[in-house]
Amino acid sequence: MKLNLVPARTGMVWVKLGIKTFFRQPLALAGLFFMFMAIMTIASQIPYIGFVLAMMLLPASTLGLMAATREAADGRFPMPVILLAAFRAGRAQARAMLILGALYAAGFLCAMGISYLVDGGGFARVYLGGAAPTPAMMMEPAFQTAMWIFIGLHLPLSLLFWHAPALLHWHGLPPVKSLFFSIVACLRNFWAYVIFGLTWVLVLTLVIATITITAALLGKPGISGDILFPILLLMAAMFFTSLYFTFRDTFDAQEGPTP
């Protein structure tokens, strides 16, 4: 396995490839993304352990979407079973992926727990859907401090796990080693990932502005909200599609488990 250093402009290429590949198999990739969302939602509803279980399944589910993208990029139709790719590569890899999921859940809960100590759980309840945000609540200094602390802690956690599921699955790295190489890859190609993120922000901004302006010109501004929600879900599916290309171009290809 070799780490590739890519120019900053590659970040825009990853976004372009994600969108282009999504439209090669829009029904399949959108359907798989909705299945992914359903799995996370159903898992989170299990009493007592639901949220932790959903966090544990997140790396494996993300790997499934990346495997589906690889299938679509190679001209094949990704079947629903591909979401289970992380658990179809043998017992050892399935166990390693669950360990990776447990590490992610622990990191997420630690970040959320620290924010809880700052404002008594106000931000945590809003983030986890247990409370509706109000303007007054969001303007409270404690709430904002908790929010920024969580963001500051979650960012390095995200970098640790950005490539970890794919490194474990396709390169056979153990969980801790996959985390190390993931964050090293993100830091060594820092500007490419910055451009990747900024490009997605720009794309989302343009989509939202286009829908809002069009609805206003038609004299029906109220419909923009109804249209935006499904469009934003599709944009989220395209974002997950683009994740595969950040991995593919960052590490040299290597034979590994089939999806």
Q: Let me know if residue 5 belongs to a domain.
A: no
Q: Quick check: is 4 in a domain? A: no
CB 163 within 8 A of CB 186: yes
212 Cβ partners below 8 Å, 6+ apart? Answer: 221, 224, 228
Average pLDDT over residues 113-129: 90
Q: Does residue 2 form part of some domain?
A: no
Give the confidence band of 117 by pLDDT, cuts at 50, 70, 90.
very high
pLDDT at 258: 47
Confidence band of 89 (pLDDT split at 50, 70, 90): confident
- Tens digits of residue pLDDT in 58-68: 999 999 999 99
pLDDT of 5 over the 90 cut: yes
Among all chains, which residue has been given the structure tokens 């402009």?
9
Domain encompassing residue 163: 10-250
Q: Give the whole-number percent of the chain exceeding pLDDT 70.
A: 97
Measured torsion, CA atoms of residues 54, 177, 181, 160, in degrees rounded to the nearest 10: 30
Structural domain contains residue 116: yes
259 assigned to some structural domain: no
Burial pattern 86-96, b for ≥16 Cβ within 10 A else e, equals bbbbeeebeeb
Domain count, the chain: 1
* Chain mean pLDDT for the chain: 92
Phi and psi angles of residue 75, each rounded to the nearest 5 degrees, phi first: 85, 15
Structural domain contains residue 258: no
Q: Is residue 1 part of a domain?
A: no
